[in-house]
Chain A
Amino acid sequence: ETGVTQSPTHLIKTRGQQVTLRCSSQSGHNTVSWYQQALGQGPQFIFQYYREEENGRGNFPPRFSGLQFPNYSSELNVNALLLGDSALYLCASSLVHSGELFFGEGSRLTVL
Chain B
Amino acid sequence: GENVEQHPSTLSVQEGDSAVIKCTYSDSASNYFPWYKQELGKGPQLIIDIRSNVGEKKDQRIAVTLNKTAKHFSLHITETQPEDSAVYFCAASKGGSYIPTFGRGTSLIVHP
Contacts and interface: CB of A to CB of B under 8 A. Distances in A.
A100 B100 CA distance: 10
B104 A97 contact: no
B41 A90 contact: no
Contacts of B73: none
Count class of interface residues, chain A: 20 to 34
A83 B96 CA distance: 35
B86 to A, nearest CB: 13
Interface of B: 4, 6, 32, 34, 36, 41-46, 49, 89, 91, 93, 95-105
Given A42-B105, A99-B32, A103-B36, 19 more contacts: A33-B99, A42-B91, A42-B102, A43-B89, A44-B102, A45-B100, A45-B101, A98-B98, A99-B49, A99-B98, A99-B100, A100-B34, A100-B49, A101-B34, A101-B36, A101-B46, A105-B41, A105-B42, A105-B43
Interface of A: 4, 33, 40-45, 48, 55-56, 58, 90, 92, 94, 97-106
